[in-house]
């Protein structure tokens, strides 16, 4: 045997551990560079701000829906503490009042800007993307400055954030750095020169401020937006969020004027009232610059205009819902009985701006969703305006209808809208009934 060749396998075996070690060191170094951020020097004193800048920031914060996420107690606005359920665990919003100990009172404008653009706290730890910095990163510098002026002039409130409860291993924050590599696109926002100015303003508001696609687009398994299915429908807080593109489930087309009214008030002719998380969005938009809301409606209407104009089911989108035929499944008959006893009185009275009537259910978007969760939540929880504010009201029936009755009602309404049955209806009702 050739002695030279006989030594080659041993030499290779000794090289393998070194190569593995070098690879681990290289990956570790790359991971450290991705995940580590230095702390920014604390601010010694909150500066004074131009009142006009603060007012501009207030309008921008309304567009960004900041209060809805950073307020758990309406008596303590922006003090955080709101629990947000995600597929990876429970994240609590933080205190963004200028309290130096528990809020952001020692944050400089540079620290605030880094949080919005990179998702990094002043002390250097990575923020969970439940905070939509992947959208705020495209904010114009002047808008970031105005938002900073606004939050730093709120009433300071002492409110430590509750501990998050993340599923292993997602409680290890450095993993967010890897998420950022995949999903954080810091490309500055650019207008489309082929579009008019109001469409471009609406596109900027929708993307950089209102972060519409954060709820209205589906998510990947890692929790990032599926960019291939922009505005194709998603979920938020246990609600199904409908598509806003050609796949919109709305049984009737939206006009731009209807969208503008809906975004400001949560209700529009021939369309359902805002429910669930959308109520907070509407509450914020009502305080925003009306011109920005009009621009948002223009942008949104351009997407919804791609949806088919024909009704998506029952052609008779008004009047009484019919009883199912005698040979229909028993569940449909039971659902019709619930509808006739609990729903018809309001929903067949017709709805006018000052009436106590409700939308004919043939026009309710939730009946046409590919997912039953929103209809189930509306039936169980109802629709209630924010405390102390006027708005459309619908009672919740969770204490009146049991799971079987709720399931039968939803099955009947889906059938009345001439849509194929929901496959996961029973499971959705059961999950919504859990404490």
Within a 13 Å sphere around the CA of 426, how many CA atoms are in the beta-carbon half? 3
DSSP 262-282: HHHHS-BTTBPPP-THHHHHH
Residue 15 pLDDT exceeds 80: no
pLDDT in tens, 324-366: 999 999 999 999 999 999 999 889 877 665 556 788 899 999 9
What is the DSSP code (8-state) at residue 217? S
- The CATH number of domain 330-433 is 1.10.760.10: yes
Residue in 331, 293, 282, 305 with CA at minimum distance from that of residue 429? 331
pLDDT of residue 4: 47
pLDDT in tens, 257-294: 999 999 999 988 888 889 999 999 999 999 999 999 99
Q: Is 200 helix (H, G, I), strand (E, B) or coil?
A: helix
Are 138 and 188 in contact by the 8 Å Cβ rule? The answer is yes
pLDDT of residue 13: 58
Residue 169 pLDDT exceeds 50: yes
What distance in Å separates the CA atoms of residue 149 and residue 151, rounded to the nearest whole number?
6
pTM here?
A: 0.89
What average pLDDT score do residues 144-151 get? 98
The fraction of the chain above a pLDDT of 90, given in percent, is 77
What average pLDDT score do residues 179-192 get? 95
pLDDT of residue 349: 77
pLDDT band at 382 (very low <50, low <70, confident <90, very high): very high
Residue 6 pLDDT exceeds 90: no
| Residue 375 exposed, middle or buried by CB count within 10 Å (0-12, 13-18, 19+) | buried
What distance in Å separates the CA atoms of residue 253 and residue 306, rounded to the nearest whole number?
10
Residue 318 pLDDT exceeds 50: yes
What distance in Å separates the CA atoms of residue 33 and residue 218, rounded to the nearest whole number?
30
What distance in Å separates the CA atoms of residue 356 and residue 324, rounded to the nearest whole number?
27
DSSP 68-112: HHHBSSTTSTT-B--EEEETTEEEEPPP-SS-TTTSSTT--HHHH
What average pLDDT score do residues 32-37 get? 67
Residue 1 pLDDT exceeds 50: no
pLDDT of residue 26: 53
């Amino acid at each position: 045997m050739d002695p030279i060749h006989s030594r080659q396998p041993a030499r290779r075996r000794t090289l393998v551990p070194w190569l593995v070690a070098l690879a681990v060191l290289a990956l570790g170094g790359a991971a450290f560079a991705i995940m580590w951020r230095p702390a920014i020097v604390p601010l010694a004193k909150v500066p004074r701000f131009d009142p006009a800048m603060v007012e501009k920031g207030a309008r921008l914060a309304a567009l960004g829906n900041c209060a809805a996420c950073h307020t758990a107690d309406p008596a303590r606005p922006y003090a955080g503490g709101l629990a947000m359920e995600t597929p990876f665990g429970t994240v609590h919003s933080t205190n963004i009042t200028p309290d130096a100990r528990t809020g952001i009172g020692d944050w400089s404008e540079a620290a605030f800007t880094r949080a919005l653009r990179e998702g990094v706290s002043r002390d250097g730890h990575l923020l969970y993307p439940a905070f939509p910095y992947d959208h705020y990163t495209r904010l114009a510098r002047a808008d970031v400055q105005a938002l900073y002026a606004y939050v730093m002039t709120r009433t300071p409130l002492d409110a430590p954030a509750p501990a998050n409860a993340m599923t292993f291993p997602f409680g290890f924050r450095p993993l967010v750095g890897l998420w950022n590599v995949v999903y954080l696109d810091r490309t500055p926002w650019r207008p489309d020169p082929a579009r008019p100015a109001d469409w471009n303003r609406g596109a900027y508001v929708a993307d950089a401020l209102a972060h519409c696609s954060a709820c209205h687009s589906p998510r990947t398994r890692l929790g990032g937006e599926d960019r291939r299915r922009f505005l194709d429908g998603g979920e938020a807080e246990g609600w199904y969020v409908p598509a806003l593109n050609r796949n919109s489930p709305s049984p009737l087309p939206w006009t731009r004027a209807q969208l503008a009214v809906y975004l400001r008030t949560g209700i529009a002719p021939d369309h359902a009232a805002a429910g669930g998380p959308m109520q907070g969005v509407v509450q914020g938009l009502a305080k925003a610059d009306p011109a920005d809301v009009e621009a948002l409606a223009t942008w949104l209407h351009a997407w919804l205009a791609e949806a088919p104009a024909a009704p998506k089911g029952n052609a008779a989108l008004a009047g009484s819902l019919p009883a199912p035929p005698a040979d229909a499944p028993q569940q449909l008959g039971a659902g019709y009985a619930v509808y006739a006893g609990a729903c018809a009185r309001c929903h067949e009275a017709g709805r006018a701006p000052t009436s106590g009537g409700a939308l004919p259910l043939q026009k309710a978007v939730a009946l046409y969703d590919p997912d039953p969760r929103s209809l189930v939540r509306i039936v169980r929880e109802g629709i209630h305006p924010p405390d102390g504010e006027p708005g459309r009201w619908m009672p919740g029936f969770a204490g009146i209808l049991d799971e079987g009755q709720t399931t039968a009602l939803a099955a009947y309404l889906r059938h009345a809208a001439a849509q194929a049955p929901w496959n996961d209806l029973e499971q959705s009702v059961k999950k919504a009934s859990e404490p």
